[in-house]
A and B are shown apart, each in its own frame.
Chain A
């Protein structure tokens, strides 16, 4: 085993344990903290894949913004220090079915996938990757449509949030 594989296995174990703890821990803030550990584990995977840009973006967006918003929302809406309510409601079986279907689908795809045996191609031109990504996002024959659609969706979400939160003077 190479050093990289050992690091991968260790981080994978930590990420999985943290992911399970997100669901099982009774305190909402503790769940959010476990979520942060899970997300940083994923950032380490990006580093192992030589994608430093994505690792940093993962930390900026998911840990720096989304996890902090989760914590903030939990602090505003619950009595945070003594929060020990029930962990599931009556729809728990729906969630379980969806999760099982999703898991089965991923397993089916991975069983038929041939990529495990092939060697990953060596990366060339590591410094130019960022500008290649930027060009790919705005070039019409690549990803400009998904990119623009995502930004329209985000703008709609933002306007909706402002509308819900704003003063309604009629």
Chain B
């Protein structure tokens, strides 16, 4: 019975007891079990990517009124496997003058940064890699390693386009970390913990209802961190060939590709965990395996929006992207953080004197935070309206690049 309710903890316990009965010390057997768990989680992440690549191509095709992959397997679901085999057999080309060690290290950095995130995401009340008590900070720390991978890839390739992509990546990824951290502080503030699993336990009412602005800021800055459309300036194909990954071929390119798709799903999982209640749902606490189902339903719902935004938005210009970050998202996040802190503290002071029912307290709190958020949205929209562009501004005179020569007089007459 226990196996059906909670298979992963059951197997882990069984393995632990097996190792202990073999005469290993508890520390060593714990390390072995954690190693196996990490290996399985990594493999699971990569297998998930095989599915999400197919899903994204299919959605992409449907929105562009095409069929998408439909030859290998039912609905083309196995299309990724031939693609994988093809990319395995491609030749590795290392450009002349590339910094060999760094060049080979960069793809590993960028994949491992994404995969490391999964260590703290709770799939169910009992299925967590490690429940770090500073889990939210760990997410940020790991995210910054991904930026490092992109910079190193761009620099070590000995290619001007790659280097330009790396420069852009610093401007984008590092600056969007600022509103992302500020927005992440709001769940920490509301849940009064930095552990990811205890944040899920704290969501009696989903945090997206308590603070929709924080959810929006987090979602947007996460999208920018993944470097996909509309924020795909790192690899803008019309300007930079393929940006930082121009010189990569074969499986090394495949690592970047897998890293990007895995990152897109990871941010959906993070959104689901931090703002949509993670594994919480009916009967999730009694039957942990149901929690996994709730978690993945929510994560795939967010993932659908991520793909939808990628497909339907044009690319931003780099100055627009930076203005959006520094002049809109960051100030909004700062204001929201201060106001949320004040509201939360004053509610905690006032709440005991209101004689509320025990079950009603989370809902009253949610209503208070939601109304404050709505007021902030209204004020923000009013402020934005005063800066509306009323007419087309002409920055400079149009400069003719190619002018047709005057036809000779004989042609005109």
- Taking Cβ atoms with an 8 Å cutoff, the residues of A that contact B are 3, 27, 29-30, 33, 36, 52-53, 56-57, 59-60, 63-65, 67-68, 71-72, 75-76, 80-81, 126-127, 130
Contacts and interface: CB of A to CB of B under 8 A. Distances in A.
A68 B194 contact: no
Contacts of A130: 133-134, 194
A68 B144 contact: yes
B148 A52 contact: no
Interface residues of B, number: 28
B140 A52 contact: no
Given A29-B155, A56-B134, A81-B158, A64 B163 contact: no
B97 interface: yes
Contacts of B99: 27, 29, 81
B155 A71 contact: yes
Interface stretch (B49-57, B81-89, B166-174, B392-400): B166-174
B304 interface: no
Contacts of B137: 53, 56-57, 60
Contacts of A80: 155
Contacts of B194: 130
Contacts of A52: 132-134
B200 interface: no
Given A52-B132, A52-B133, A60-B141, A72 B151 contact: yes
B78 interface: no
A166 B155 CA distance: 27
B155 A64 contact: no
The 7 A-B pairs with the shortest beta carbon distances in the complex, nearest first, are A64-B144, A59-B141, A56-B137, A60-B141, A56-B134, A56-B141, A53-B134
Contacts of B142: 59
Nearest to A56: B137
Given A27-B99, A59-B142, A68-B151, 6 more contacts: A3-B27, A52-B133, A65-B174, A71-B152, A81-B158, A127-B133
A-side interface mostly: helix
B102 A68 contact: no
B-side interface mostly: helix
Contact of B138 (A3, A29, A56, A68): A56
Interface of B: 27, 97, 99, 102, 132-134, 137-138, 140-145, 147-148, 151-152, 155, 158, 163, 166-167, 170, 174, 177, 194
A120 B136 CA distance: 29
A68 B141 contact: no
A30 B105 CA distance: 12
A36 B141 CA distance: 13
Contacts of A27: 99
Nearest to B170: A72
A81 B145 CA distance: 22
Given A72-B151, A80-B155, A33 B102 contact: yes
Contacts of B174: 65, 68
A60 B174 CA distance: 11
Nearest to A76: B167
B144 A59 contact: yes
Contact of B166 (A53, A59, A65, A75): A75
